[in-house]
Amino acid sequence: MIKNNPANNRLFGAMDLAYIAVFAAIIIVLGAVSIPVGTAGVPIVLQNMGILLAAFILGGTRGGLAVALFLGVGLVGVPNLAGWRPTLAALPGPTVGYLAGYLISAFIIGYAADRIVRSHRRAARSPLALLAALILLGLIGTAIQYLCGSVGLVARTPLEFMAALTANTPFIIGDILKTVVAAAIATGVIRSVPDLVPTAQVSPQPDPSAASLAQETTR
């Protein structure tokens, strides 16, 4: 019988809001790294690794909201993107699709990460199994970002879709490395701070024979 911990049934508490704000800030700080590459105007950045970290560690809702907050502050002019540009300035540019991909991938892989972490805890699987699952999930999230980014490139540049998709090629090796690093960090954090991903508690089933014996002795 699965018994839900009352603490898990709440909406957002102060700690949840703090986690969302902290991870949004981490993603912004990672914007300090921006290396121009290729001809499509898309730089190498570390912020996509921050997106994976938020999704892996905070899960779908909180991780997605952390990314939404990261993007949202840039809509009011706060320099939050790589190169210290605000989201507002990037909307008409070629990277707008990647920003949409950040948000979409965070929610999708965040919810999947929730299920994976809970499953691994219930089955008491090894850390390496969790690491491998998160790496695979991170690669799926990166593919979502590439797809959304390519759509944005088609909308903002003369590139056809396949050419836009091919423009992601220089980033593949680096993004694989960033995915492995993000998964390794997340695995360590999840195992060290288990309360970040609350799980349902299992309450033991009552023993019918014991209950019958108790009734007999009270007659």
**Domain range annotation of the chain:** 14-198
Tell me the CB-side half-sphere exposure of residue 141, using CA atoms within 13 A: 38
Q: What is the DSSP letter of 93?
A: S
Band of the pLDDT at 44, cuts 50, 70, 90? confident
pLDDT tens for each residue of 58-67: 999 999 999 9
pLDDT at 142 over 60: yes
Query: What is the average per-residue pLDDT within 175-193?
Result: 94
pLDDT at 4 over 60: no
Q: Report the alpha-carbon distance of residue 106 to residue 194 in Å, rounded.
A: 20
How much is the pLDDT for 156? 93
Find, among 91, 100, 93, 137, the residue nearest to 115 by Cα: 137
pLDDT at 209 over 70: no
How much is the pLDDT for 215? 47
Q: What is the DSSP letter of 182?
A: H
Q: Where are the beta strands (DSSP E) in the chain?
A: 2-3, 34-35, 44-45, 201-202
pLDDT tens for each residue of 153-175: 999 999 999 999 999 998 999 99
How much is the pLDDT for 204? 41
Query: What is the architecture, at CATH level 2, of domain 14-198?
Result: Orthogonal Bundle (1.10)
pLDDT at 207 over 50: no
The tokens for 209 are 């024979």
pLDDT at 38 over 80: no
**Cβ pair 51, 27 in contact under 8 A:** yes
